[in-house]
Structure formats: structure tokens, C-alpha cells
Amino acid sequence: MMNILIVGAGLSGAVLGRGLAQAGHKITVIDSRSHVAGNCHTERCPDTGVLVHVYGPHIFHTDDVQVWDYVNAHAHFKPYKNSVKSTVDGAVYSLPVNLHTINQFFGKTLRPDEARAFIEQTQADTSITDPQSFEEQALRFVGRDLYEAFFQGYTEKQWGCAPSALPASILKRLPLRFNYDDNYFAHKFQGMPEQGYTAMVESILDHPNIDVHLETPYTPAMAENADHLIWSGPLDAYFDHKLGRLGYRTLDFERFTDTGDWQGCAVMNYGNREVPYTRITEHKHFAPWESHEGTVCYREYARACGPDDIPYYPIRMVEEKTMLGEYEALAAQTEGVSFVGRLGTYRYLDMDVTIREALDLLPQLIARFE
């Protein structure tokens, strides 16, 4: 039996802790926050009863059957379809860009084949053969008009830089559809845990070999009694930022409440640059099977992450990648520590990928500890 200290009670820490506890090890999980579940944390608003996604909306979607079975063993999932709308220049459109968006935007009544031909022949910039940036990728596939309406302003607000400075890979995730399918995700399984993600993570951590200590920031002295440390905090923070700070975007949420139905949908993007926020989320719509008089909304603003802010999205531009390589080299030389999760590896990871990676790491750790 090994004594294992896990820093971070998010999905990475919880899934690894559970697997190692089941293998007979003694697990201590600490988190500086007052709750488990990391950024997936959900809690009920005491005034309205609405289940709020405290660090921004989380929709579970995956093609991975084993991961889907895993989360369903710890929570009752309700079917949920993520349909996003976008307000641009005083009109509301459907996202991701689909046949409805195209017809409404260009004032047409095209059928699928006609729309495909219309975009390819009159909109897409076919002179771009090997798109290098986000902007080139968008111009190549959707053309300037749709790019400027739905991607340019939103992306500038989200990332704080011109889309021409961002890698093309970011847009590969946003499909262009020639039918009326407005399901944001194309995965086989999609849903919401009925009682929220925090209850799900509490269930994962509920094992006699696991002790959880909240409001407990890590100090190196804590590792002295541990045989192994699993670190799901920021990679650069483990090394006291001695090589510099890895760049992140952070989010500010301006919370407001009202009664009834404020915007009629869960997520409304704002494409225009002049609107300072990227989107408004109305949390009761993430649980359409519940009914509440009141409503809780978040206006979401993105900006550069300062030392005291919550790191949300790794920037991963050229400079950050160089620094990341140096931190990864340090991490590889650090014995007795595994760096995991979205912060520990400085990558954007969806929940299903986070769980997949933890499940894949488990047998390696278990074998090593034997």
C-alpha cells in the first residue's frame, strides 16, 4: 500500500484517486477551493433554486463508451442537446453555422446542395490552399461575410488577439453544416448529470481509502509523508513559476438574476466586437426538466489571466510552447510526481478526454507502485 497525495479534486484528481483507492492505496486529496469538482463545479442558487455552473457552462459529450459508462455509474444523466444562438448586427442566428444560418444571413431559401455550391462558389476563398491561421481557415471554408459576422469579433474577444495570429487548428472544431442540425456537438453521447457535476465527483471520491481536504492549498511539506504526488494544479505553479508564467485567458462572470425566462435559451453568443462580453448563459436552460420562478444568468468576459486570477484557457502560442517545453523537461526530471489534467499538462481538455486520460494512466501507475 502506498500513501498518495493528490493535489486537485477536479475530474483528474477524482478519477485517479478512485482507481488507486480501489487498487488498495491510501489516498489524500487536497484542494484549495471549498468544493470538489474543479471547474466543473455546480451549485444551487439559494434564492432561485437554479443549478448554476459556477465556472462556466459544462455539457458532457463523448464518443467513448467506457467514459460514458464511467460517468453514468456515478450520476444519473439526462439527455441534453447544446444549441447555441448568436446575436450579430441586431439579428439572432443559429450556430454552429448551418443551413438555417446561411439562409437567414443571406436572405435565401437554399436546399442543402444549393447551399454547399453557394458557399463553395461565391463565399469560400479557394485561393487559400493551405490555411495557416484561424482567419485563413475561416476564409477558406466559410468566406469573409460569415467569418466577420460569427467568428472574427467573437474570437478577438475570446483570445484577445487577431484571428490571423491564432493557429488554424482552433477552427477545425467548429463545423459548417448544410442541413438544419444545430446540435453544437457531433458526439454519440451527450447529457447533463441531473444533480450536477459536483454530486458526480463526490460519488467518484466516495471510497473508504480516500480522504478529501478542502480549502487546503498545497505546500511542499505536505508531500514529505507521501510516497507519490499527483499534481493537477498548474504545471508552472509546481515549479514556483521559476521559468516564467504560462499564459492563460481568464473569464469574468457578471452574474444577474431575474424572474421567468430571460433570453429563451441556454447560450447566446454576441458576435460584434462592440459588445464587450462574448456570451450570456442562462443556467436554468441547462436543466430543462426543472422549473424555477427565478433565473440566473452570467455575462461572460474574457481577458488575460493575472497571477491571482483563475486560469481557464491555455494560450499555447509560440512563446508559451517554448516555455512549456522547458517546464515539461523539468517535470520529466522530477521523480515521484505525476503531472495530470488540464492545468498539469497545460492543454485544453474536455471532461471526457480528462477522464479518458486518467483511466489510461491508472494501470501504468498501479503497475509502477507494485
Ligand X SMILES: Cc1cc2nc3c(=O)[nH]c(=O)nc-3n(C[C@H](O)[C@H](O)[C@H](O)COP(=O)(O)OP(=O)(O)OC[C@H]3O[C@@H](n4cnc5c(N)ncnc54)[C@H](O)[C@@H]3O)c2cc1C
The residues of the shown chain that bind ligand X, judged by CB under 6 A, are 7-13, 30-33, 38-40, 56-60, 217-218, 232-233, 237, 251, 312, 341-343, 349-352, 354
Which is nearest to 184 in space by CA: 336, 286, 306? Answer: 286
Three-class SS state of 114: helix
Q: Is residue 254 among the annotated active site residues? A: no
Choose, from 113, 130, 173, 274, the residue flagged as catalytic: 173
- Name the residue nearer to ligand X (CB basis): 133 or 281: 281
Q: Please, which residue, 312 or 369, has the CB nearer to ligand X?
A: 312
Annotated active-site residue 140? The verdict is no
User: Is 249 part of the annotated catalytic residue set?
Assistant: yes
Tell me, yes or no, if 135 is annotated catalytic.
no
Residue 116 catalytic?
Answer: no
Helix axes 197-205, 11-22, angle to 10 degrees: 30
The x, y and z cell numbers of residue 10, run together, are 477536479
Q: DSSP character for 164? A: G
The Cβ-side half-sphere exposure at 222, using a 13 Å CA radius, reads 17
- Clarify whether 279 is annotated catalytic: yes
Do β-strands 84-88 and 267-270 pair in parallel, antiparallel, or remain unpaired?
parallel
Annotated active-site residue in 249, 313, 320, 326: 249
- Least CB distance to ligand X at residue 27 (A): 15
Q: Residue 189 or 218: which CB sits closer to ligand X?
A: 218
Minimum Å distance from CB 115 to ligand X? 28
SS3 call for 75: coil
Cα 13–15–21 angle (5° rounding)?
A: 95
- Asked if 80 is an active-site residue, the reply is no
- Give the H or E element holding residue 29: strand 26-30
User: For residues 130 and 240, which CB has a smaller minimum distance to ligand X in the complex?
Assistant: 240
Residue 266 beta carbon to ligand X: minimum distance, rounded to whole angstroms? 11
Q: Which of 18, 140, 177, 316 is catalytic?
A: 177
- Which residues are known catalytic residues? 173, 177, 249, 279, 300, 348, 350
